[in-house]
Chain A
């Protein structure tokens, strides 16, 4: 074949070289095939570090709050002991420095998450005592009468 026939091929080769050069500069150096092989483990290794370094917001540590708020730990003798402080008081983050004060969710809807009665057989929900929010003192915060840290009806305010 005459030489000119191969001209487009040369152009193609130039393009391929260009792409390969771009790859050399663009692909992160830690990109490769790791533990799970090419199918599942082809990635940039430092992406794992990104997730490991992600900020923790909730401590969910039963003893974390005790140093300062020991008086609230009476809750541990009640059925509400199973609920972590942060579920109602919000994430600790860097409290007490940032934020200095945690907010508390006092909405009726928070209590209704468990205490709206749904008598579902085969579900734990059926075993929780509940109230009808429409007839049971509508518009008033639950904590006006019930102490969430001492929820038994006998200890009503």
Chain B
């Protein structure tokens, strides 16, 4: 079977070799890198611009963006027909290609986030390593842990005030470098699409900017979502433990912090959301107004075939509804929760409409292709480029985050522990 034939249905005049070659995993790719970039930008708002109210959110979103990082590469590996050769991008990069620098940009960004995390949590590593070293009767697990944390310290055990101050400075610098790199990482994903001159829907210089804006939106939304979920779990635990100990913060106290944090973050979310919508509408209006040769087929796709996906699901449910939910006075946690879920859905639909929508018409401008997402994984191909593969990609960052939480004190309220 030809790659792409399984999920492509052709209508009218379509060239024989045309299929929807870039399927669900390529929808996931900009969606996941968008979350990475967005989460990082959110954390940098605190580290670089010193927005104090975002302190809790910042620590958390930094770790989260690190957990998302390997996942940004996963959809690409699942999409490649020859994944075992993926390393060639680093071996013989052909820089005239928009994706050749991916390996380099991606690893640069990964290293920046990793170093930033190292500086933020260095004190924790040192403390843990030293306490494990002092421990008299180490069982095998402790020995492994000791080795692990000793490695994490990279041999730097100086946790004096001066050294920690240096760390703080380094975090600030790294976060500063990180913002443009994060934006580049994702604007770059936009460039990959925007520079394909053969594709009438993709080719626009606005694409990278639109991608960055919606990336920040989705990143903030995901951080808010996860933050709410984690805080709810915490509240639940506190309520259960309240009877046994009294020096824990009450569930009301947690709720107060949570609501405050959410309301401030929501403001940033709104700002970026409005910006993203304006750019997308500008793009749409501009295409209709200039109405070049390809507009006939684009119009029939945008206002006809994909109307529900674009105007109802993306703009309606994904943009308009959350705007109303967030702009309505006296934001509550529950309303924010519903809002961010809609926002995430909207950004996903935007990626979908770009990637799948861009391939839903033929190069002949006289035919259409319809995409049918493989739901049941009958073989490897329908697994990795179907619903199951997409869900696997979506679930992985949460598993990684849970693992990181085992190593790092992400939600520690102890201000001594962290900067």
Contacts and interface: CB of A to CB of B under 8 A. Distances in A.
A8 B91 contact: no
Q: Which of A2, A3, A10 has the most CB of B within 10 A?
A: A2
A8 B115 contact: yes
Interface string B159-172: 00011001100100
Interface stretch (B150-158, B209-217, B341-349, B403-411): B150-158
B163 A4 contact: yes
B92 interface: yes
Contacts of A9: 115
B94 interface: yes
B9 interface: no
B91 A4 contact: no
Contacts of B114: 8
Contacts of A1: 166
Contact of B92 (A3, A7, A15, A27): A27
Interface string B85-96: 001101110111
Give the interface size bracket for A toward B.
20 to 34
B22 interface: no
A38 B91 CA distance: 15
SS of A interface (majority): helix
B264 interface: no
A42 B118 CA distance: 39
A22 B118 contact: no
B92 A5 contact: no
Interface string B103-128: 00001000100110011000000000
B96 to A, nearest CB: 5
Contacts of B156: 3-4, 7
Contacts of A10: 154
Nearest to A42: B94
Contact of B96 (A2, A26, A39): A39
B154 A7 contact: yes
A11 interface: yes
Interface string B165-194: 011001000000000000000000000000
Contacts of B167: 5
A81 interface: no
A38 B87 contact: no
A38 B94 CA distance: 8
Given A5-B166, A9-B115, 9 more contacts: A2-B166, A3-B156, A5-B167, A7-B154, A8-B111, A8-B118, A22-B91, A26-B88, A26-B91
Interface of A: 1-5, 7-12, 15, 19, 22-23, 26-27, 31, 38-39, 42
